[in-house]
Each structure stands twice: as C-alpha cells, then as structure tokens.
Amino acid sequence: MRIKTTPFYPRLVELNHTGLWSHWAGHLSATRYDFSPKYEYFGIRNSAAYFDASPLFKFWIRGRDAERVLAGVMARDPRAVKPGRAQYTVWCDDDGYVLEDGVLFRHAPDEFMLTAAEPNLSHLRERARGKDVEIVDVSEEYAVLALQGPRARAILEPLAPEIAELRYFDFTPAKVAGHAVTISRTGFTGDLGYELMIPADDALAVLDAVVEAGEPHGLRPFGEEALNMARIEAGLPLIGVEFTSARYAYNDAERFTPTELGLGWLLRGIDDDSRPFIGRDAIRRELAEKTSRWATVGIVVDWLAFQELHTSHGLVPVMDEIPVPWETMLYDDAGERAGYATSLMYSPMLQRYLGIARVKPEHAAVGTVVHVEQTVNHEYLTVPAEVTTLPFFNPERKLA
C-alpha cells in the first residue's frame, strides 16, 4: 500500500526539522518537528500550536433514520444533541466491550458527521441495513487542523469572528481567508482549543492564513509525541494505548467496557428502554452485578521516593517527558498485582511523574498507595505512587 500524505503536507514537510514521521491511517504523520518534543508541548501549554489531524476517518450519516441508527449504535445517547453541538462517544460490541471512540457532530436533525481514528464504514452500514439512512466515508475530502493552547482564540477570532460565542463542543460554519470551513471547540490536549474541518482543496490556503495570524503569538506546529504528552495530562484515552478495540482483541483480557475505561459517565440514561443500543444488556448486567474487572485512575509518583530510589543506586533520576511505550506494573503493599499503568510520563508543567492506570476496583479509592515497577541497575524495584482522579491538568480556559 502506498503511504499517503495529507493536504497540509507540502507546508509541514518544510517545517519538520527532524524528518521523523509515523504512519496513521495510511498517512504520514509528524512524530515531532523539533529535536525535543518539549518545545512543541510548551507551545501548546503556554501559547498555541497546531496539529494535522487530517488522517481521522470521517463519516457522513444522513437521512430520516440517521438519529435512530446512531441511537442504536452509540453507548452515549445522541438524541439530546442539538444541531451545532458535538459529543464524545463510544460504541460497543454485543458483549459490552468498546470497539472505538470518536466525536459525533450534529449538523441538522437528520445529518451527522462522525470522526474516529480507525475505519468503521462496514460496521455502521451493517447496523443501518434496512433503514432510511446514507453512510458515506468522506475521509479524503476534508483536512482537519487542530489549533490548541491559551492563545488559540486570540489567533482564530480575527479570522473567524463566529467562534466568539462557541461553547465547549459547539461548532459553527465559518470562512477563513474566504474559504468555507467548520470550526469546533474541541481538541485532544485538554486545553483551550479549536478544530477546523476544511475541504481538502482549500487546506493550504486556510493553514497559511492561520499561521500568519499566529506569528505574533509564537504559533508553532506539534507532532504526535507532544500530543501524547498533553492528552495524558488531560486524562484522555488513546486507542491502541489505553484500550484495544474489541474488534481486534485476541481475548477478554484485551477487551474493556466503558466503565472499566473510566467512561461510565457516558452511560447516563442506560435504563431508558426506548434505546436498546448494542451492548446495553451486557453493560447493565456488569453494573448490576458489580463485575467490572478494572477501574481507570490517575497515579502520581512520590517524587522524593523516586529520587531516593535512583540516587541510592548511584544513578541520577531522569525526568523523561516521553511517555513510556509499554505497560508499567503496579503492586499493592503486600507485593501482589494491583494493576498497571497504560501511560506514564514526567509532566513538564506539573513537575511530577504521573500516569493513567488501570487498577483492580479495591485499589481505586483516591489516596490509595500503589507501587510502580521500575528497572534500576537491571533489577525490578518499585516506587510508591498515589491514586488520584483524572484529569491532572484542567485549566479554566478550556471551558471559559
């Protein structure tokens, strides 16, 4: 298969000083532009930065039965979503395990767009069989630019005054540099941010306008590594890291329910019999019988203990902002398995090692101490960490 490039690539390749790219949905996606992703991370947190999210899959769902179909598929009820609003959601298999997550945008009573990290066209069409609905994959027709950070509004509002009144998860049609776009107040960084959905042919013109407007604000691009750092601080799950799609899992150990992923808040109204969505019966049994195997929590490592663990073995403790690319085991006070961290990193803003973790329910209470496995001088040792709530970073500006 030929690796594709996004509509923004002709500009972004000139800015990628590292030449580092990863593959996302068959497209080149920048790993990082600078030689340290920390520069890009601080662009998000201190000023503003932009990310090429074009490889997202995009599906139009249109027709008289569009809402009915989505209400039967999505674990979160889409019926209360008004036109001009979006919602984060997940969809499950018949056993209540999560297949994927995404964002659902309602453009009209009978017209929605769903964005997701992986292909879902066949699944959606199968569930819509016999209904008056059209489901179309338009992934290649649109570019997506995520503009994130405390100065995002100051950069974007002069170009698109329509965003002034946008609330969190609102979206609106607008024009940037004379080109029609859709702007949503969304993002994957846990900060103030917007995402622009742009017809592919207009992508470079819109990007150029945003970059020019952002120059006085220190606007810069950021890649996947900086995005990963920001989303961990925001406590946001990433498919392939926090969970495996039940569609591809080999066994139940690799499958997770919404409750186990810390997404139980999406299930409001689950007892409404007018909406028997896929997986509902299994999830209701899980809730009634309290059979959840895991709870998703935050953990914050005891810094003094971490420092002592390393210095006592003749090592300098490393403050590494690159998230650990593997699961990190957690133990209780007796040395028994308590769970594992799916994402662990040193936060440059919060100056602590922290992580998103999956623990057995009896260890999920805030303040519980777990012990994080560390490799020191080729030996498995542990350092204490405290269970806390997510997110770690949640600035007022995100919702203001």
> Tokens 């690319």 identify what position?
325
Q: Which residues of 114-150 are buried (b: 16+ CB within 10 A; e: fewer)?
A: bbbbbebeebbbebbeeeebebebebeebbbbbbbbb
Look up residue 319 and give its two tokens.
């403050």
For 350-371, the pLDDT digits (tens) are 999 999 999 999 999 999 999 9
For 66-125, the pLDDT digits (tens) are 999 999 999 999 999 999 999 999 999 999 999 999 999 999 999 999 999 999 999 999
Strand order across the beta sheet in which 220-221 lies? 171-176, 179-184, 193-199, 142-148, 49-52, 220-221
Work out the number of other CB atoms within 10 angstroms of the CB of residue 314: 8
CATH number of 9-54+140-222: 3.30.1360.120
Q: What is the pLDDT of residue 222?
A: 98
Q: How far apart are CA 363 and CA 332, in angstroms?
A: 8
Q: Which residues of 263-289 are buried (b: 16+ CB within 10 A; e: fewer)?
A: bbebbeebeeeebebbbbebbeebbee
Q: What is the pLDDT of residue 1?
A: 66
Question: CATH number of the domain at 64-132+257-292, out of 2.40.160.40, 3.30.70.1400, 2.115.10.20, 3.40.50.300?
Answer: 3.30.70.1400
Spell out the domain ranges in the chain: 9-54+140-222, 64-132+257-292, 295-396
Q: How far apart are CA 324 and CA 90, in angstroms?
A: 26
For 217-258, the pLDDT digits (tens) are 999 999 999 999 999 999 999 999 999 999 999 999 999 999
Q: Which residues of 75-104 are buried (b: 16+ CB within 10 A; e: fewer)?
A: bbbbeebeebbbbebbbbbeebbbbbbbbb
* 275 and 74 Cβ atoms separated by less than 8 Å: no
Q: What is the pLDDT of residue 2?
A: 85
Question: CATH number of the domain at 295-396, out of 2.40.30.110, 3.30.230.10, 3.40.50.1400, 1.10.3860.10?
Answer: 2.40.30.110
State mean pLDDT over 146-160.
98
